[in-house]
A = this chain, B = another copy of it.
Amino acid sequence: MIGTTTWVIGDGYIPPASTGPHPAMTSHDSACMLNANAEPARIEITVYFADREPAGPYVITIPGRRVHHQRFNDLTDPEPIPAGTDYSVVVRADRPVVVQHTRLDSRQAANALMTTIAFPVPGGDDRQ
């Protein structure tokens, strides 16, 4: 059992401009997820904001023994996430997964990067 079932990203933000070729150097904010189980994992993403009710859930299925790097820029159902807006993210899975948060910011001439393993909610693997 590799991972846990609930993860949090505190600092969500899609930089509203980019420098360089699309899509590689397009500014983005993403959740990079590993499903090391043999079976598919169903992922539900909820996005919290500063001044409105949360959006979601955004539902993704990751096949067994596969990774999925999800740019928040690319989520559209049930609604797109606006650029230039502060948010936080809760990721819930029906099997243990691992989530890492990464942002590429190319607003200025050379890109900046940041990453962190997301916060694994304790007890989150007790749902198994």
Flag if A115 contacts B11 (CB, 8 Å). Answer: yes
In the complex this chain forms, how many copies of it are found? 4
Flag if B36 contacts A10 (CB, 8 Å). Answer: no
A8 at interface by CB-CB < 8 Å? yes
Flag if B98 contacts A8 (CB, 8 Å). Answer: yes
11 A–B contacts, CB within 8 A, in A order: A2-B90, A10-B67, A32-B86, A34-B90, A50-B69, A106-B108, A108-B111, A109-B110, A115-B115, A116-B116, A122-B125
Q: Which of A21-48 contact B (CB under 8 A)?
A: 24-25, 30, 32-34, 36, 48
Bound CA–CA A84/B4 (angstroms): 28
A80 at interface by CB-CB < 8 Å? no
